[in-house]
Amino acid sequence: MKLKILASVTATVAVLAQFLLAAPVKAQNPDHVRQLLETKECEGCDLRNADLFKASLYRANLKGADLSGANLYEANLLEADLSGANLANANLVNAEMYGADLDSANLRNADLSNAFLGRANLTRADLRGAKLFNANLGEAYLLQANLSNADLRRSLLFRVNLSRANLSGADLSFADVRDTNLQNAILSNTRLPKAQLSGTNIDAANNVRQADLERANLRGTNLGPGVCVITTFPYCVFNNVE
């Protein structure tokens, strides 16, 4: 009889443990959420999993804040200071982030689809696995940023500084990369089919031969033969050899 009771208790504990592990964990500090919404000053705050849906955070100070898993859907983060912030797995779909400072921010696996990041500072930002589908990054700074395996399909990367950025495994299909700086950028297994690459210095990028440049638009770009032989686009122009 005792064995049956013990077995029943053990089974009940196991079921409860599974339920508790499956339950959503809200680790954010509610006082910090309130402080942010009232003052827009929350440097280093604990805002994990915070619900900031359509929040007005224009020029907010979120330097070093932990916003991992936060819901920032359509949030107004224009010119906000998010340098060093943790935004891993955050929902930033349709977010307004023009001129935001994201220097060294962690945006790993964050969803930035359709976000407006024009002229944002993403120097040394960690964007590994991030979703940037149809995002506007016009004239943004992505110097030394890590964009490996990021989804950049149909994104606007016009006049972006991607010098020394890591784009290995990233998907830039149909992206607009015109007049962008790719000096020493890593393009190992980068997908660029039908991307607009005119005016770039893609010949100065690393691992270009490993990139997928099928039918990429290279019109007006002065390239070496090493690049031209790996694309089927008819407007590839060889560099003149003295």
3-state helix/strand/coil string of 74-118: CCECCCCECCCCECCCCECCCCECCCCECCCCECCCCECCCCECC
The whole-number pLDDT of residue 65 equals 98
Which residue did the predictor score with more confidence, 209 or 135? Answer: 135
CA 223, 146, 78, 111 torsion: positive or negative? Answer: positive
Q: State the pLDDT confidence band at 229, using cuts at 50, 70 and 90.
A: low
Q: State the pLDDT confidence band at 238, using cuts at 50, 70 and 90.
A: very low
Q: Tell me the pLDDT tens digit for each residue of 174-208.
A: 999 999 999 999 999 999 999 999 999 998 999 98
Helices (H), the chain: 2-22, 30-39, 225-228
Residue 237 scores a pLDDT above 70: no
The whole-number pLDDT of residue 224 equals 59
Beta bridge partners of 81: 61, 101
CA count, 13 A, side-chain hemisphere, 198? 7
For 10, 47, 57, 99, 130, the CA distances from 174, given in Å and listed in that order, are 56, 35, 32, 24, 17
Q: Tell me the pLDDT tens digit for each residue of 47-103.
A: 999 999 999 999 999 999 999 999 999 999 999 999 999 999 999 999 999 999 999
CA distance 138 to 118: 5
The whole-number pLDDT of residue 239 equals 44
The whole-number pLDDT of residue 173 equals 96
Question: For 98-107, 156-165, 187-196, 215-224, which range has the lowest pLDDT when averaged over its residues?
Answer: 215-224
Number of H helices, E strands in the chain: 3, 2
> Are 90 and 113 in contact, with CB atoms under 8 Å apart?
no
DSSP annotation of 33 reads: H
Q: State the pLDDT confidence band at 19, using cuts at 50, 70 and 90.
A: very low
Residue 241 scores a pLDDT above 60: no
The whole-number pLDDT of residue 15 equals 46
Burial per residue of 12-36, b for 16 or more beta-carbon CB atoms within 10 angstroms, e otherwise: eeeeeeeeeeeeeeeebeeebbeeb
The rounded percent of the chain whose pLDDT value lies above 70 is: 79
Q: Tell me the pLDDT tens digit for each residue of 24-47.
A: 456 579 999 999 999 999 999 999
